[in-house]
Each structure stands twice: as C-alpha cells, then as structure tokens.
A and B are shown apart, each in its own frame.
Chain A
Amino acid sequence: MSKTRVIWIGLALLLVAAMVLPFLVKNYRVFQFNLVLVYAIAILGLNILTGFNGQISLGHGAFYAIGAYAAAILMDRAGLPYWATLPFSGVLCFVLGFLMGFPALRLAGHYLAVATLALALAIPQLLKYKLLEHYTGGVQGIVLVKPEPPFTFRFLDQPLSADRWLYFFTLAVTIVMFVLAWNLLRGRVGRALVAIRDHPIAAAVMGINLAMFKSLTFGVSAAFTGVAGALGAVVIAFVSPDSFTVTLSIFLLVGLVVGGLASIPGAFFGAIFIQFVPNIADELSKSAPAAIYGVLLIVLMYLMPLGVMGMVRKLWARWQPGAARLQASVKPGTSVPVPPDLTKESTT
C-alpha cells in the first residue's frame, strides 16, 4: 500500500473516531478535547511561522489573546453570534501579524525571539489599561454566554449538549484550518517558506520576495492563532488579562517543539502535551507540580529531539524497505516537509 493511501485511510478512521468520541465520554472530557483542538490550531499557526519559515516567535500568546478579546468584545458588546466572530479575529490578527512582520524583517534569531517576547509581555498591560477598560473590561475581564446547540438529538444514548455541540463546531473549524494550511504549505508557497528558512540568500537570488513573504507569513500565522484564541474564548466563556500571560506563549512554543517543527499533524501532539501534562503533573505532586512538568519536558526532549513527528518520521523511514525508501525521498513535483536544521546559526 502506498504512503498516501495509508494516510488517507488513517485520516478517515481518525475523523470517524473524533466524531464518535464525544458521545462516549462525559461532558467535562469533551471540554478538554475541545481545548486540545483549539491549542492545535494555535500551534499550527506558530508552526507556519517558526517551523516552516524559521522565524522564532515567543509571543504568539499575544495573537491568541487579541483573537480571544476581539471575539469576546464582539459577542458581549456588539451582540455578534459566536460563529461570526471567528473571521473578524482572523482578519484582525492577520493585519497585526503582518505589521509585526516589518520589524521582524530586520531582526533575526534571538533578537526576534526577544522582540516577540516583548509583545507577549505588553499584552496584559494593554488589556488592563484604563482607556481601553470600557471595551476590555479591564482587570475583571469579560464573562461570556456559552452557546447552546441549535438542535438536539441523541446518539449512543447521550444528548447533544452544549459542550458536544461546541466540540463539533471546533472540529469543523479545525478541519478547515488544517486543510487550508496543508494546501498553502504543500505548494509553491510552502517551498518558498522553507527556502527562506534554510537558505535566505539563495531564495532571494531565485526571485522570492523575502520581505513580502516573511511579512505575509507572520500575518497568516497570527491569523491562525487568532482564530484559535477566538474559539478558546467561546469555549471557556471568559477572558481576562490573567488568562493570557507570557506563560501561554511559552507553552505554545513548547507544544510546537514537542509536536515537531515543520509538521502539520505535529500540532495535535503538541496540543495534547500542553493540555494534559499539567494535569498529570498536578496528580503526581502538589508541592512542585511545575517541576514534574519540567522533568517530563526534558525527558521528552531527550527521547524525541525532533518532536513526536520527528520520531514518527524516523520510524517510518526505518520501516520502509530499502528501494521504497529511496523512491519516497526523491519524487519530483511533490514537496517533502523538511525538518529544519536549526543547529546552524542564522547569519543574516
């Protein structure tokens, strides 16, 4: 069976499982899975920028926050229905990300990391600022109403509760976002991004407009994370400055690396890590749960330095018989997402 066949069948099975799952578990677990999907979209956004394009961002929590607050303000102050807020969040974050892309052009590596970190740090302060308080709710935040399902039915003897309905909504959005990303990245745009990441000078020589591409990538990446933020706000039904501290940005980055750089499916593994490992750590220790989290993270980095998908790729390559391995790696016309070799220092 060819690789693509296997992948398609696998995806179909996964989709069926994902749709049946909420009826097999309690509402609270559905809520957790919902958050996993939300984080997966956010990490996917970050991956587009950092994994595929090599621009390190320690501040994606800022875009998540902006998307969340945009949705909250539109829902609470302007009375928009929850599904209509997603495009707004996406577009707003695209514009802001694009603007952020300009200073990012001049900065590289660690400098860019710190600049984006600065963005993440500034966001809580801005949200609390008294001139914006009327919109943002200041330190108290905004309490939202959780959407009700538009119709009801029962499946496997469980009703379509609000949590399950939101889960399906999020699942639909997730599928759309991932298909968009996959489409974007497997074509010329994707190759251009990877080229810019690995050999920017060669890419420029080949006619790729570095400035345009890099800024657009920032915008698209921010848009994805912004949509995730909006979804998050709807699911949790509450936003406040304390929900979007620099810790969020750090955790998104952790999720990215754990899942695997330059890998679309990796986003799910990263999301599962950042959603469930803190709970595991909490159960193991009340005195120092963060330490358990740190230890688990370090151990994971030892075992899978290229993330979960890096390990999967390695195993897949080993599983393939010799001739097929050679054939799979050299196929004109298709793109193979190449894990970045970031051991080399960026010199521009």
Chain B
Amino acid sequence: MKLKHLSLAIAGIAAAAISVSTMAQKKYDTGATDTEIKIGDTKPYSGPASAYGTIGKAISAYFDKINAEGGINGRKVKYISLDDGYNPAKTVEQVRKLVEEEEVLFVFNPLGTPSNTAIQKYMNTKKVPQLFVATGATKWGDPKNNPWTMGWQPNYQTEGKIYAAHILETKPNAKIGVLYQNDDYGKDYLKGMEDGLGEKAKTMIVSKVSYEVTDPTIDSQMVTLKSSGADTFFNVTTPKFAAQAIKKAAEIGWKPTHYLNNVSASVGSVLTPAGLDNSKDIITTQYGKDPTDPQWANDKGMQDWKAWMAKYFPTGDVKDASNVYGYAVAMTVVQVLKQCGDNLTRENVMKQAASLDITLPTALPGINIKTSPTDFYPIEREQLARFDGKTWVLFGKVYDPGGN
C-alpha cells in the first residue's frame, strides 16, 4: 500500500476509534442512570441534635429546585435522607441501608463527627464517596488514607488558629479564658487555639472550663472565668449556650475581648436573643453570608436564596443559618455532578470533587471553594469580623491556611 493511503487509513481508524470512545463515555455506577442520580444522607431528625435536621430539609428543597429546572445534564436527582438521631450506631445502620438497599451513588453531607467516624472505614472499604461531611472536624481532609472521604466547611482547628494568631498580634499579653462544649467539636476548637498559641498557650490560657449539652445553664462556668481574671474570652459554644454566655457576661459585668466561634455567629439566632448591645465588639470568623445580617439585605446571592426559601422551603426559618448551609452545600454537590457529565462513576465523582474551583453566591467576597487531589479541604479561607451592634463588619485580611 502506498504510504499516503496507509497514513490515511491509520488516520481513519484513529478517528473511528476516538468517536467510538466518545460515544461509549456514558459510565454509570449503581445509583446513576440515564434519567436519575440517587444520593443519600443521614441527618438527626430526632434526638438532641434535631436542630440540624433542617439542613436535610433545605438540601431536599434545593434538589426540588434543580429538578424543577430540568435536573443535571438531563438527570433528576433523587435524594434519600434518613434519620440517625445523632446516634453513631444508627448512622452505621442507615448508611448501610443507603448503600446496600437503596443503592445510592454516594452518601452526601452526613452530619456529626462521631457519626462520620463510625462509617468512614465502611465507606472507604466499599469505595463509596462520603462527600462533603457536615462537620468541621479536622480529620476529614486526608486523601492518602481515606480517599473516599471529603469535608466541606472550614475546619475548627484552623479557625482556632486564626483567633490565636490575632490574639498574638493584637494582645500578646492576654489572659485567655476558654469555655468549650465537652465533645469533639469543642475540643477541636480548643486544640486549634492551643496549637496556634504554641508554647505561650500554657501561660496565656488561664482558665479552661467545659460544659455538657445537658447542662441547663453555663452560669457557673462564666463566674469561674470572670474570677480567673481573664481579659480575653474564647467562646466555643453552640447557639443556645452562646446566647447565654453573652448575656451572662454582660450581667456579671465582665467585658473581655470576646472571640465567638463561627457556629454560633448568627445575628438573628444568637446575638439578637442575647442582646445586640451586649454583643458589641465580639469577634468571629466568617466564610458565608449571615441571612439575618442587614448588610446583605440587597445582596443578589442572598436575595436569590430568600426567593428559593419562599418558593421551595416555605416552612423553613429564614433566620436559621443552617438553611443557608444546606443551600450552599447542595449547590456544591450539584457543581460536582455537573462536572461529571455523563461519567457518573463513584471514582469520577471523587475526582471531580477533588478538582473544584468555584465561588458560591452565598460566600463572602474572596472565599472560594478549591480542591485538588492533595487538598481535600474545599473551604479554607475565612475572614475576621467584628460586630458593631447591628452587623458583622469584616476586617483584616482573608486568612488562607491552605495557601490557595
């Protein structure tokens, strides 16, 4: 055969091969079909943490919106959410149901550190993505040992370190008192603060008191902190106790430099009940827009969110930051699925999750979501904010521990 014909033939065969492989690129794992993508999660709809059940409802409402608008690449999302009552034993059972009986493509945003710890080995053995877990514990970004697990929100230790850095910068002789919830969440924040202070931690932290979720009040702890002579207060409490702490501090006449953890930084749910005047000058870090903060009232991203709440989740509380969280994390997973295109295998889902580079409309300016095969922390950037009596005023630089 002449060389020209041979090269033509080879080109022709190559072209045919490429087109065949393009046509054959629709790949599915269990849970994905031409018309449907099945996703599952577990949330505490009953029990002591049932306040977070609304996240599951928000996510469901977001998928309603996506499905109403045509789905993702022509496929509707089927979202199955099961109750685990914040009991890790139940989480194991429900996740197994999702994977083995409901046959979901992946498990998305399961809530709670102990719950996720309980299922992590199972998910990684079964090679099912445990995507965007709803906890700020630091251990979820470990692609080497647990390549199928990924967190989403900025982790607690990073936040603690940011506060520590700020204290060292602005008040290097501070006497710090810490109030923390006696569980993984509280201890993770405390560790971040202690690590951030380094060797000075022992001398700077003059008082560490904990409380249990079953404690009715934290009055005694607040009195202890004041008596210790601390002039800086690191407040690692969930919303109800944060409100109590702010109110009590004002009542007993204690006015420290007050660092409040992001979990309880909602203007409407925490600062308003505690007293806006009592909350003046409190410092926190933010990565998302607070729905009750007046400065975002005319922000397009938050207005879209409000419209979505009104249309698809009218029973949801518009003051509850959990409903923004659910919206944002659902948006992220929709982005991942969009990036997957027609390759809906579990492996590709993780691959796309590890190649994200987006900014959500509900995120603060400058806060992005970026992942890579070695970086399993989607949101890492945060910025300090100070409360001025009405709203959170951002200040300083955007902290970026991942160096993105």
Task: Tell which of B89, B96, B113, B183 has the most Cβ of chain A within 10 Å.
Answer: B89
A280→B168 CA distance, assembly (Å): 53
Q: Report the nearest A residue to B43, measured CB to CB.
A: A286
Closest chain-B Cβ to A114's Cβ sits at a distance in Å of: 15
Mask of A30-69 contacts with B, CB within 8 angstroms, 1/0: 0110010000000000000000000000000000000000
Complex interface: chain A residues within 8 A of B86 (CB): 242
Question: Is there contact, CB below 8 Å, between A28 and B89?
Answer: no
B82 within 8 Å of A (CB atoms):
yes
| A283-311 Cβ-contact flags toward B at 8 Å (1 or 0) | 00011011001000000000000000000
Q: Is the CB of A290 within 8 A of B46?
A: yes
CA distance A278 to B89 in the complex (A): 13
Residue B47 at the A interface, CB < 8 A? yes
Chain A residues 124-146 with CB under 8 Å of chain B are 125, 128, 138-141, 143
> Is A247 in the interface zone, CB < 8 Å from B?
yes
Bound together, the chains give a CA A282 to CA B45 distance in angstroms of 8
Whether the Cβ atoms of B117 and A28 lie closer than 8 Å is no
Q: Is B83 a contact partner of A140 (Cβ separation < 8 A)?
A: no
- Does B127 count as interface, using CB distance less than 8 angstroms? no
Alpha-carbon distance between A247 and B114 when the two chains are bound, in angstroms: 16
Q: Which residue of A lies closest to B48 (CB)?
A: A245
Q: Which of A5-13, A175-183, A206-214, A231-239 contacts B (4 or more CB under 8 A)?
A: A231-239
- Assess the B87–A289 pair: CB atoms within 8 A: no
Q: Is the CB of B184 within 8 A of A282?
A: no
Q: A232-B89, A247-B47, A286-B45 are in contact. Are A238 and B83 (CB under 8 A)?
A: no
Shortest CB distance B309–A (Å): 17
The interface residues of chain A lying within 8 Å CB-to-CB of B85 are 247, 278
Q: Is the CB of B93 within 8 A of A143?
A: no
Known: A141-B117, A240-B114, A286-B81. A121 touches B214 (CB 8 A): yes
Measured in the bound complex, the distance between the Cα atoms of B43 and A282 in whole Å is: 11
A28-B97, A31-B93 are known contacts. Are A286 and B88 too (CB-CB below 8 A)? Answer: no
Check A128/B87 contact, CB under 8 A, given A32-B93, A238-B118, A286-B53.
Answer: no
Return B206 CB to nearest CB of chain A, in Å: 18
Tell me if A243 counts as interface (CB < 8 A to partner B).
Answer: yes
Q: Which of A140, A242, A282 contacts B82 (CB 8 A)?
A: A282
Whether A139 contacts B184 by the Cβ 8 Å rule is yes
B263 CB to nearest A CB, Å: 16
> Is there a chain B Cβ closer than 8 Å to A314's Cβ?
no
B121:A237 contact, CB within 8 angstroms: yes
Q: How far is the CA of A286 from the CA of B53 in the complex (A)?
A: 9
Q: Does B182 belong to the interface (CB within 8 Å)?
A: yes
* Residues of A close to B87: CB separation below 8 A: 242-243, 245, 247
Q: For residue B75, which residues in chain A have a CB less than 8 angstroms away from its CB?
A: none
Q: Could you tell me the distance between the alpha carbons of A282 and B53 in the complex, rounded to whole angstroms?
A: 12
Q: How far is the CA of A29 from the CA of B100 in the complex (A)?
A: 9
Q: In whole angstroms, how far apart are the Cα atoms of A172 and B112 in the complex?
A: 34
| Residue in A35, A121, A128, A139 whose Cβ sees the most chain B Cβ within 10 Å | A139
We find that the number of chain A residues with CB closer than 8 angstroms to chain B is 33
Which residues of A have CB within 8 Å of B121?
143, 237
- Interface residue tally of chain B, by bracket? 35 or more
A174 in contact (CB, < 8 A): no
In the complex, chain A residues whose CB is within 8 Å of the CB of B45: 282, 286-287, 289
Q: Kindly identify, within residues 31 to 71 of chain B, every residue whose CB is under 8 Å from any CB belonging to chain A.
A: 45-48, 50, 53, 56-57
Tell whether, in the assembled complex, residue B117 and residue A238 are in contact, meaning their CB atoms are under 8 Å apart. yes
List residues 141-158 of chain A with CB under 8 A from any CB of chain B: 141, 143
The answer to whether B114 touches A289, judged by C-beta atoms less than 8 angstroms apart, is no
Task: Tell yes or no: A26 within 8 A of B by CB.
Answer: yes
> In the assembly, what is the distance between CA of A128 and CA of B57, in Å?
32
Which A residues are in CB contact (< 8 Å) with B82?
282
B114 neighbours in A (Cβ, 8 Å) = 139-141, 240-243
Partner pick for A28 among B47, B48, B57, B101, CB 8 A cutoff: B101
Residues on B with C-beta less than 8 A from A290 are 46-47, 50
- In the assembled complex, the CB of A295 is this many whole angstroms from the nearest CB of chain B, namely 13
Q: Smallest Cβ distance from A103 to chain B, in angstroms? A: 23
Q: CA separation between A238 and B83, bound complex, in Å?
A: 19
B187 CB-CB contact with A under 8 Å: yes
* Contact assessment for B100 and A27 in the assembled complex, using a CB-CB cutoff below 8 Å: yes
Give CA–CA (A78, B56) in the complex, Å. Answer: 40
Q: How far is the CA of A35 from the CA of B89 in the complex (A)?
A: 10
Chain B nearest Cβ from A284, distance in angstroms: 11
B255 at the interface (CB under 8 A from A): no
Q: Is the CB of A140 within 8 A of B118?
A: no
CB distance from A167 to the nearest CB of B (A): 14
Instruction: Kindly identify, within residues 253 to 301 of chain A, every residue whose CB is under 8 Å from any CB belonging to chain B.
Output: 278, 281-282, 286-287, 289-290, 293
Cα–Cα, bound, A287→B50 (Å): 10
Chain A min CB distance to B16 (Å): 42
> Could you say which residues of chain B place their CB within 8 Å of the CB of A29?
101
B321 within 8 A of A: no
Known A-B contacts A240-B118, A282-B45; the reply to A26 vs B89 at CB < 8 A is no
Query: Could you show 26 A-B contacts with beta carbons less than 8 Å apart?
Result: A27-B100, A28-B93, A28-B99, A29-B101, A31-B96, A35-B93, A138-B187, A139-B187, A140-B117, A140-B184, A143-B120, A236-B92, A238-B88, A238-B118, A240-B88, A243-B87, A243-B114, A245-B87, A278-B46, A282-B46, A286-B45, A286-B56, A287-B45, A289-B45, A290-B46, A290-B50
Q: Please report B residues at the A interface, Cβ cutoff 8 Å.
A: 45-48, 50, 53, 56-57, 81-83, 85-90, 92-93, 96-97, 99-101, 112-114, 117-118, 120-122, 182-184, 187, 212, 214
**Ranked 9 nearest A-B pairs via Cβ:** A28-B100, A290-B46, A238-B118, A282-B83, A240-B114, A139-B184, A28-B96, A242-B114, A289-B46
